[in-house]
């Protein structure tokens, strides 16, 4: 009864003469806004407010505590200079080159492996219900757990190498985690192990969404399985690729804890990512301005990736 | 509506004030001494305070550890909600004092005679602008060798007096098939060892000029290059798996007899004690060869904040108890360090502790007590970490020669200043 009345009020508020219901209808219009307002305000302050705050700090001379007098772009000048110090590598140079290596390999391998596993699982095999969660499960672990587990596994004195030596394969040698030139690849290994199952699940969902009629039509036209996937299935999965890319890109950029747990920074700081750099400089070295500047550069990098994506997505929607 | 709001605010404020009143007989303490021996040692202080009617309240820190505690402290101070005191290290005390948030304990210091009993080198960090702002709890020193006695006997070694002796000893261990040097390849451990190497190579004068005064001529001198060469020499004696190892695992290698010696601060002694080892019979503690008579120190301090007047009595009680001879002795026996005042009797300490106390006294009187750069007592954190970067990059091969190392060191320190 009351719902009917309310619907009528909502549909035709101007015809209603009762003053009480005008208030009520107005309240009803306002309610979503009121409910959303706190989280909206919180986002404005805690996300965008602090982004502006960080940008402001990066132009000051802040050390242990924030200082409010603008002193110019000295922090950026230092970062810029460090960008080109490759021999011996400055911490910033190491961080950004590692970001390049890690980001590229992590995203590329996760996408390739995820797609491959999804295609295999999509062959209507028995026991898929058991296999799928096995691959997906690592995603439920935190980076810290993944990092510690892989740290032990890859440690030459404890894990894989030691075990194989005990089994008699004494010439086996795998010390990447202790090697300054290879330690970043161990971060890739652990990261891929964790995320590829999740990417597989995304692709699997995409594959299930493809219309079987298209596949049958292609098969009737004489397409081989390879051609089928190459020409039809993978192009149809394009939206999944984009979503997976965005998920992986942000995981890659924020994978601070994986580096800390797995390598504690690596030999001579050789496993640092920009997020490690930011934390070290802001909180351990009391160079808040430099830390803020590096955070701003990270933000700009992410923006450079996300904005074209959002642009293309939104344009497609409005078309 | 407005009236309701005003009443609400008034009520809230009065609640806040009454909450304050409850704090008066309470010591709010921010620290990260939560593990076994350290927590037990701190219990002595809690009991001392309880006798005087002050309750102890730990300020909770999520995650534990020094970094998390310092981040928590920063937030508390920024919010104007000061703890009574906080465990602090080196330049952090001075940073906070410069920001004007530290209290003033000068009166208590005068009454208790801290000026005379606390070594002058420590007062650099506990006194700011003529005012006592912190109470030192202990003095750690980093220029120690920790040696497994059984291994030492097996290879027929004797106490090394010079750096060359030390290298000869390491060679003997290598020939006997033992890992000569247990090192954890993390930057602070490498730099802590390098502190001792510099003191041994260049002598006390040079150490002070290079590592405390950051004199550029000394930093790029041939002596510094020689120090890096000596470090490189030592690194040839570690096992291939050293990179990233935690310091206590390196100590465990010495305890188990897998390795002969570790160069580490005296907190390593706590690990030997935990394994029920006795100095002299199971393990040996020598000064790093060539550094006898000098002490490279770091120290834990309780920084005292500028709390409201009604909470000051509790703060004074805490500071007095912290520097009381009984607590200094009881705490440092457990912690492995030595008392922060030189007039504490050494009766309860073991052989290494007794040596540490005597060394500290002698070094203090002879002006050979220096801050450890690796531990953040030689220069502010920015410089100390830049130094650790360079040493670590040298150990792990990103920096290839000692020439390059000193150039990088000067540049990095200059950058961080």
**Which residues of chain A lie closer than 8 angstroms to B416, CB-CB?**
285, 287
pLDDT tier for residue A1 given thresholds of 50, 70 and 90: very low
Q: What is the pLDDT of residue B22?
A: 46
Nearest to B396 among A155, A180, A264 (CB): A180
Residue whose entry in the numeric block shows the structure tokens 């953040």: B376
| A285/B381 touch (CB, cutoff 8 Å), yes or no | yes
Q: Where are the domains of chain B?
A: 27-140+298-365, 141-296+367-416
**CATH code given to domain A91-318:** 1.10.3720.10
User: Residue B136 phi/psi, 5° resolution?
Assistant: -70, 140
Indicate the pTM of the whole model: 0.85
Q: Smallest CA–CA separation between A146 and chain B, in Å?
A: 17
Q: Do domains B27-140+298-365 and B141-296+367-416 have the same CATH topology?
A: yes
Residues with Cβ within 8 Å of B191's Cβ and at least 6 positions away in sequence, in order, are B373, B374, B387, B388, B391, B392
Q: Residues A7-19: pLDDT tens digits?
A: 444 444 455 455 5
Q: What is the pLDDT of residue A2?
A: 44
Specify the long-range contacts of residues A234-241, CB closer than 8 Å, at least 24 apart: A234/A115, A236/A206, A236/A210, A237/A115, A237/A203, A237/A206, A237/A207, A237/A210, A239/A206, A240/A202, A240/A203, A240/A205, A240/A206, A241/A111
CB atoms inside a 10 Å sphere around CB B32:
18
Q: Residues B6-15: pLDDT tens digits?
A: 454 444 444 4
ipTM for this model: 0.81
Nearest to B393 among A78, A178, A268 (CB): A268
Query: Which architecture, in CATH terms, is B27-140+298-365?
Result: 3-Layer(aba) Sandwich (3.40)
Q: Smallest CA–CA separation between A65 and chain B, in Å?
A: 8
| A65/B243 touch (CB, cutoff 8 Å), yes or no | no
| B382/A63 touch (CB, cutoff 8 Å), yes or no | yes
Q: Is B294 left (phi over 0), alpha (psi -120 to 50) or beta?
A: beta
Q: Residues A236-288: pLDDT tens digits?
A: 898 899 889 888 988 898 888 899 999 888 898 899 999 999 998 988 888 89
CB atoms inside a 10 Å sphere around CB A166:
9
DSSP string, A7-64: HHHHH-GGG---HHHHHHHHHHHHHHHHHHHHHHHHHIIIIIIHHHHHHHHHTBT-SS
Q: Residues A102-153: pLDDT tens digits?
A: 999 999 999 999 999 999 988 888 888 888 888 888 888 888 899 999 999 9
| A155/B67 touch (CB, cutoff 8 Å), yes or no | no
- Whether the predicted pLDDT of B252 surpasses 70: yes
Nearest to B243 among A63, A78, A178 (CB): A178
Give the max Cα distance, chain A: 92
Query: Which architecture, in CATH terms, is B141-296+367-416?
Result: 3-Layer(aba) Sandwich (3.40)
Q: What is the pLDDT of residue A317?
A: 62
Which of A 180-219 lie inside 8 A of B, CB atoms?
A: 180
Q: Residues B369-395: pLDDT tens digits?
A: 999 999 989 999 889 999 999 999 999
Whether B235 contacts B170, CB under 8 Å? no
């Amino acid at each position: 009864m009351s719902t009917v009345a309310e619907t009528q009020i909502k549909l035709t508020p101007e015809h209603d003469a009762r003053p009480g219901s005008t208030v009520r209808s107005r309240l009803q219009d306002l309610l979503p806004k009121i409910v959303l307002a706190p989280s909206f305000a919180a986002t404005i302050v805690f996300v965008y407010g602090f982004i502006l705050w960080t940008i402001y700090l990066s132009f000051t001379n802040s050390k242990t505590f924030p200082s409010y007098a603008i002193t110019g772009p000295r922090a950026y000048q230092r970062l810029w200079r460090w960008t080109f110090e490759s021999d011996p590598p400055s911490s910033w140079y190491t961080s950004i080159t590692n970001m390049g290596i890690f980001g590229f390999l992590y995203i590329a391998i996760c996408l390739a492996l995820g797609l491959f596993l999804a295609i295999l699982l999509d062959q209507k095999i028995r026991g898929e219900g058991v296999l799928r969660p096995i691959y997906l499960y690592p995603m439920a672990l935190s980076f810290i757990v993944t990092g510690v587990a892989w740290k032990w596994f890859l440690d030459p004195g404890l894990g894989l190498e030691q075990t194989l030596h005990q089994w008699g394969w004494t010439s086996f040698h795998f010390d990447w985690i202790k090697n300054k030139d290879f330690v970043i690849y161990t971060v890739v290994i652990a990261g891929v192990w964790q995320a590829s199952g999740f990417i597989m699940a995304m692709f699997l969902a995409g594959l299930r969404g493809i219309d079987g009629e298209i596949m049958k039509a292609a098969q009737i036209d004489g397409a081989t399985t390879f051609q089928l996937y190459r020409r039809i299935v993978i192009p149809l999965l394009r939206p999944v690729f984009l979503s997976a890319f965005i998920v992986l890109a942000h995981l890659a950029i924020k994978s601070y804890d994986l580096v800390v747990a797995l390598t504690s920074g690596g030999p001579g700081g050789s496993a640092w990512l920009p997020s490690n750099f930011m934390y070290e400089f802001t909180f351990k070295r009391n160079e808040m301005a430099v830390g803020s500047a590096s955070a701003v550069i990270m933000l700009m990098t992410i923006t450079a990736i996300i904005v074209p994506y959002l642009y293309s997505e939104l344009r497609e929607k409005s078309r | 509506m407005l009236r309701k709001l005003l009443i609400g605010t008034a009520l809230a404020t009065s609640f806040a004030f009454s909450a304050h009143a409850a704090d008066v007989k309470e010591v709010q303490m921010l620290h990260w001494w939560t593990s076994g021996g350290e927590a037990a040692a701190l219990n002595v202080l809690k009991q001392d305070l309880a006798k005087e009617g002050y309750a102890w309240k730990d300020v909770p820190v999520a995650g534990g550890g020094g970094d998390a505690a310092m981040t928590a402290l920063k937030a508390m101070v920024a919010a104007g909600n000061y703890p009574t005191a906080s465990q602090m290290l080196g330049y952090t005390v001075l940073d906070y004092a410069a920001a004007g948030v530290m209290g003033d304990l000068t009166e208590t210091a005068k009454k208790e005679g801290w000026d005379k009993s606390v070594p002058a080198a420590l007062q650099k960090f506990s006194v700011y602008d003529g005012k006592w702002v912190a109470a030192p709890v202990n003095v750690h020193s980093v220029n120690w060798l920790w040696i497994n006695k059984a291994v030492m006997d097996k290879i027929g070694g004797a106490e090394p007096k010079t750096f060359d002796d030390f290298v000869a000893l390491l060679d003997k261990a290598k020939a006997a098939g033992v890992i000569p040097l247990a090192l954890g390849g993390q930057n602070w451990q490498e730099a802590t060892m390098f502190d001792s190497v510099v003191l041994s190579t260049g002598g006390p004068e040079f150490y002070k000029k290079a590592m405390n005064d950051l004199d550029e001529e000394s930093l790029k001198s041939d002596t510094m290059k020689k120090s890096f060469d000596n470090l490189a020499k030592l690194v040839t004696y570690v096992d291939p798996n050293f990179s990233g190892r935690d310091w206590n695992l390196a100590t465990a290698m010495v305890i188990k007899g897998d390795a002969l010696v570790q160069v580490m601060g005296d907190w390593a002694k706590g690990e030997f004690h935990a394994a029920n080892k006795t100095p002299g019979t199971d393990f040996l503690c020598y000064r790093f060869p060539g550094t006898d008579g000098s002490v490279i120190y770091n120290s834990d301090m309780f920084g005292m904040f500028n709390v409201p007047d009604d909470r000051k009595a509790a703060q004074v009680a805490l500071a007095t108890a912290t520097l009381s001879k009984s607590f200094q002795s009881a705490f440092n026996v457990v912690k492995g360090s030595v008392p922060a005042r030189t007039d504490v009797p050494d009766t309860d300490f073991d052989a290494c502790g007794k040596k540490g106390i005597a060394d500290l006294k002698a070094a203090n009187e002879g002006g050979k007590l220096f801050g450890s750069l690796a531990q953040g007592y030689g220069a502010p954190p920015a410089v100390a970490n830049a130094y650790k970067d360079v040493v670590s990059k040298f150990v792990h091969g990103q920096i290839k020669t000692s020439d390059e190392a000193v150039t990088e060191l000067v540049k990095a320190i200059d950058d961080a200043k």
